[in-house]
Every structure is written in C-alpha cells, then in structure tokens.
C-alpha cells in the first residue's frame, strides 16, 4: 500500500510539472511580441514612396532636322534629368544649330517628359521644353561642332523665349537603352518683327518651325 501511494504521488508530481511546462510554453506563444523602434526600422523597405529607393538618371542625345526660314538644317542637343515614378522625367534640355545656311541658333530650358507604359517594347510619350535662347546670322553654312558649348554663353544674353512641345514613339533596345523617333514644334517669341522681313531675317516667325527628332535614351540607375 505504501509503495502504491508513493508511486501515485510521483505520478501526480510529474503530471503537475508537465502541465506547468506546457502552460508556460502556450502562454509564451500566444502573447504578442512587442514591436520596438529597432524592429520598425527593419520594415522600412516596404515603405511606399513617390521617388523610390533609387532615382534613376536619364539623358537623351538628340538630332533634329528642322526648318528655319525657307531652309532646312540640323540641330544637335541633349536633355536629361531624374526619372520620377518610371514615367516622368524632369530636367534640362539644350539644342544648338549644327548645320544651317543662314542661322546659328541655340536655346536651353526646363524639360518635362511623360512616357506611357514605358515597360512595353513599343510605347509613346510627349515632352515640353520651356526656355530661352539666342540667334545670330551664320557666317558660313558649315558644320558647328561646338554649338552646345556656345549655348552656355547664350544663357547670359538671351534674345527670345522658346516653347517646344513634342510627341514621340520609342522602342526598348535593352533595360537601359531605347531609341525614339518623334516630331516637335518650336514656338519662338520676343524677337522684333520688321515690315521688310524676309526668309533670312532674324524674326520670331522665321525661327519658329517644325522638327523631326531622333534620339537615343540612356538610363543610369
């Protein structure tokens, strides 16, 4: 009888110990862990932001075939800036005469561009440049390879206001490279108009005109 009671007491003690351990584990698992500021920092990668963790930079060398007066010529230029939310580019653009028999013109301004569904192979977009420039009579009809550098000086002595909207189509060549083809209209204001203006006069009407644009987009992440 004594042995039976000792065995029963031992079994009861073991049962109490086992139940206590099990209850403690269950309480620990069911109690929510407190979130500390250090743990909050580990979740920053899931934060939604307008610009994202990295803001890619894009620049686009461009060749324009454009009308000035009654003659056609070419302009070289480049625009670039920060890419916001994958669709919108905000930056600067500058263009200068490369070949034209009459005018040596250049202008620089703020550039805003929007592309619709740029992740697709072929997509479309539009841009707007707003800025200032200057123009002189060309002493010869030759090539002007340093026209873009001359635009730096034109910023300190602007002669006209320019507004140039454009539309273009684009094809992705790689994740960081694309080619575009589009058209734009350059509207110039501020140059004095003369009653005896000809196709070679430095007037706003002569320098305004359409352009066909070819560009290569380069993205730097």
Weakest-pLDDT range from 1-5, 13-17, 55-59, 184-188: 1-5
Position 136 scores a pLDDT of 86
Reported as a pLDDT band with limits 50, 70 and 90, residue 26 is very low
Q: pLDDT tens-digit profile of 27-82?
A: 444 444 444 444 444 444 555 666 656 789 999 999 999 999 888 999 999 999 99
Cα 151 from Cα 97, distance rounded (Å): 10
Position 95 scores a pLDDT of 96
Count of residues making up the chain: 221
Position 34 scores a pLDDT of 47
Question: Is the alpha carbon torsion for 93, 50, 216, 189 positive or negative?
Answer: negative
CB-based burial of residue 204 (10 Å sphere; 0-12 exposed, 13-18 middle, 19+ buried)?
middle
Q: pLDDT tens-digit profile of 57-67?
A: 999 999 999 99
Q: Which residue has the higher pLDDT, 51 or 208?
A: 208
Percentage of residues in the chain having pLDDT higher than 70: 71
Q: What's the mean per-residue pLDDT of the chain?
A: 81
pLDDT higher than threshold 50 for residue 178: yes
Query: 7 — alpha (psi -120 to 50), left (phi > 0) or beta?
Result: alpha
Cα 98 from Cα 131, distance rounded (Å): 19
CATH number of 57-220: 2.40.160.20
Cα 170 from Cα 181, distance rounded (Å): 7
Where exactly are the structural domains of the chain? Answer: 1-29, 57-220
Span 128-137, mean pLDDT?
A: 93
Q: Which residues pair with 103 in a beta bridge?
A: 137
């Amino acid at each position: 009888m004594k042995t039976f009671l000792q065995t029963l007491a031992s079994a009861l003690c073991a049962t109490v110990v086992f139940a206590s351990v099990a209850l403690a584990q269950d309480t620990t698992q069911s109690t929510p862990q407190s979130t500390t500021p250090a743990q909050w920092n580990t979740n920053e990668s899931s934060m939604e932001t307008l610009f994202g963790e990295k803001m890619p930079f894009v620049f686009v060398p461009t060749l324009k075939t454009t009308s000035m007066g009654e003659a056609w010529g070419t302009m070289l230029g480049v625009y670039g800036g920060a890419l916001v939310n994958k669709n919108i580019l905000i930056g600067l653009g500058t263009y200068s005469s490369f070949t034209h028999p009459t005018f040596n013109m250049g202008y620089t301004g703020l550039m805003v561009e929007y592309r619709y569904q740029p992740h697709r192979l072929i997509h479309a977009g539009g841009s707007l440049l707003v800025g200032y420039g200057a123009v002189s009579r060309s002493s010869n009809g030759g090539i002007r390879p340093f026209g873009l550098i001359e635009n730096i000086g034109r910023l300190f002595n602007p002669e006209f206001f320019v507004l140039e909207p454009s539309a273009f189509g684009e094809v992705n060549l790689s994740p960081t490279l694309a080619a575009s083809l589009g058209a734009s209209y350059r509207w110039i204001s501020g140059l004095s108009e003369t009653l005896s203006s000809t196709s070679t006069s430095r007037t706003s009407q002569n320098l305004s005109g359409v352009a066909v644009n070819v560009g290569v987009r380069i993205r730097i992440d």
